[in-house]
A = this chain, B = another copy of it.
Amino acid sequence: MALSAHADVLVDNVIGLTPDGKGGLERFTGLLIDDQGNISAVYHDKEKRPKKVAYKVDGKGRYVVPGMIDAHVHIMDTGFAKMTLDLSGARSLEEALVQVRAYVQAHPDRSWIEGNGWNQANWGLDRMPTAAELDRVTGGKPAYLSRVDGHAAWVNSAALAAAGVTESTADPSGGRIERAAGSRRPAGVLVDAAQDLVAAKVPQPRPSDRDTAFGEAQLEFLKQGVTALADMGTTIQDWQAYRRAGDAGNLRVRIVSYARGTDDMALIGGSGPGGWLYGDRLKIQGVKLYLDGALGSRGAWLKAPYADAPETSGLPRMNETQLGNLMSRAAIDNFQVAVHAIGDKANETVLDTIDQLSQTYKGDRRWRIEHAQVVAPADVVRFGQHGIVASMQPQHEASDRTMAEARLGPARLAGAYAWKSIAATGAPLAFGSDTPVEPPAPFVGLAVAISRQGADGQPVGGWQPQEKLTLGQALAAYTSGAAYAMFAEDRLGRLARGMKADFLFVDRDVATAPPEALRQTKVVETWINGQQAWSAARGVAKPLTSGKAR
């Protein structure tokens, strides 16, 4: 079935760059696209073009790269973050409180105050914020503010009261209620599973809210040049929003879903991963499981205690038997398994479990470890076994650097954000943003990947610079590697004959730009399936045909 009404389109006179599928990069100057949105020819230099095409796009010497593939996103959270209070810009506790007060006053209709993006590490604060501080600016309304990593929530007294969380409430399994010094009184921050105590009381978004959130997220991806993405933790509600978009012809980016747990996996996928829907725009591929939390909130599960909190080594969300059971449940129906593992103990445990399961579940499984953030040197080499995919996020390195040094101390940094070491084991790298934790900005990610530096150029020479990647490695991880990680390398991730015509016009040559310039790359046009989906000049483009599944 043709989703596009056009016949052959020739995109010519471009300075094109694509992974060549053999570990290198390749230049090209033109693309021929058929009426299914597939690339039917790639031209180099002055190679002869067809005389007759339905439509010709003169690239006028502009730069073309493949559409970026973000291997780890939270689509709906990204959209909802845009609909709630964004505290990621607050540089101090006081600034955050001012923003909350303004938001409360601007939204008198909201029964709960919801927000996200705060990070006390940016506030020069050596402690978590408190409920009492939040009470001052929330006018008695309950408030629930997610930390930037989603692994902790800052709540006020009204929210604690609404949820019945008191000094007699025990920490739930896999979670922790921060307590006021020297008492059991909840202080106002809930870590990991403890967040659910209050989150369960926050009113659920309506379906129309979900549709709005999806639209917001999709627009952001198009702007950033992200044409395909792996959604990590798709719920049935999320899936229904994606299907509504697909049914209405509004699904532009390509989504590969990893369901949030095995129940939603079976509910969404039935008895196995589904095929592509809506012209290769949507499929359910696997399941996302969480073994531990995050480093910032000390939820990451470490082999040894935190350097800056020797009383804890973090905590697993389930034990090894439970993890193995859930992974088996998925693997038996050929669903792909993606396990969140941040701490070195969590990574070791997933590796151990994959070792065991690989004896039973043979074939091309592509077990994914999400984040693989802190790995013991002895475990790094194990990534090269069993076809494990390392799904990592360069931007986290730059954001976490100082915090990671504090949490881990110097000895464990060698295995932290160790892209090059892991890639050297033969494990395929798939890069992503973890949006909304970081902006879904692949060119920022590329710049970090080759420099190990932040936007400020710090540290000079790069942090743990032995882990820098080449541009070719990094670009592959955002394109062909990410496609491979989602079982989509047969159609996505490279600009080559037979692949989908998903590409970007960008304002500079990413192959040669130094990191500080690469980071500033502007997307000029985003093309998906041989059609312009978005342009900086005109915003979202109308599809040539509706693409509506009827």
- Using a CB–CB cutoff of 8 Å, the interface residues on chain A facing chain B are 1, 3, 206-208, 210-211, 236-237, 240-241, 243-244, 247-248, 266-271, 274-280, 548-550
Contact = CB atoms under 8 A, between A and B. Distances in A.
A279 B550 contact: yes
B270 A208 contact: yes
A266 B550 contact: no
A531 to B, nearest CB: 16
Given A247-B275, A275-B247, A550 B1 contact: yes
Contact of A206 (B206, B237, B266, B277): B266
A276 B550 contact: yes
Contacts of A210: 270
25 contacts: A1-B548, A1-B550, A3-B550, A206-B266, A207-B266, A207-B267, A207-B269, A207-B271, A208-B271, A210-B270, A211-B270, A211-B271, A240-B267, A240-B268, A241-B270, A243-B243, A244-B274, A247-B275, A276-B550, A277-B549, A278-B550, A279-B550, A280-B550, A549-B549, A549-B550
Question: Top 3 nearest A-B pairs by Cβ distance?
Answer: A549-B549, A207-B270, A208-B271
A206 B247 CA distance: 26
A241 B270 CA distance: 8
Contact of A237 (B241, B267, B549): B267
Contacts of A275: 247-248
A269 B210 CA distance: 12
Q: Say how many copies of this protein the assembly contains.
A: 2
Contacts of A271: 206-208, 211
Nearest to A545: B1
Contacts of A207: 266-267, 269-271
B270 A244 contact: yes
A214 B274 CA distance: 17
A247 B277 contact: yes
Nearest to A549: B549
Given A1-B1, A247-B277, A277-B247, A240 B270 contact: yes
Nearest to A265: B207
Given A207-B267, A211-B271, A244-B270, 20 more contacts: A1-B548, A1-B550, A3-B550, A207-B270, A207-B271, A208-B270, A211-B270, A236-B236, A236-B267, A237-B267, A240-B267, A240-B270, A244-B274, A247-B274, A247-B275, A277-B549, A277-B550, A278-B550, A279-B550, A280-B550
Contacts of A280: 550
A276 B244 CA distance: 12
Nearest to A204: B266
Give the interface centre of A211, A241, A275, A549 by most chain B CB atoms within 10 Å: A549
Give the interface centre of A236, A244, A247 by most chain B CB atoms within 10 Å: A247
Contacts of A240: 267-268, 270
A267 B277 CA distance: 20
Nearest to A210: B270
Contacts of A276: 550
Nearest to A243: B243
Contacts of A211: 270-271
Nearest to A239: B240
A211 B247 CA distance: 22
A266 B209 CA distance: 12
A116 to B, nearest CB: 24
Nearest to A248: B275
Give the interface centre of A1, A237, A269, A270 by most chain B CB atoms within 10 Å: A270
Contacts of A1: 1, 548, 550
A266 B237 CA distance: 9
A248 B274 CA distance: 9
A550 B529 CA distance: 13
A6 to B, nearest CB: 16
Contacts of A277: 247, 549-550
Nearest to A268: B240
A261 to B, nearest CB: 15
Nearest to A274: B247
A548 B278 CA distance: 10
Contacts of A243: 243
A288 B371 CA distance: 45
A39 B270 CA distance: 36
Contacts of A270: 207-208, 210-211, 240-241, 244
Contacts of A241: 270
A235 to B, nearest CB: 10
Nearest to A281: B550
Nearest to A212: B271
A208 B319 CA distance: 29
A278 B549 contact: yes
A1 B248 CA distance: 14
Nearest to A270: B207
A279 B247 CA distance: 12
Contacts of A267: 207, 236-237, 240
A7 to B, nearest CB: 18
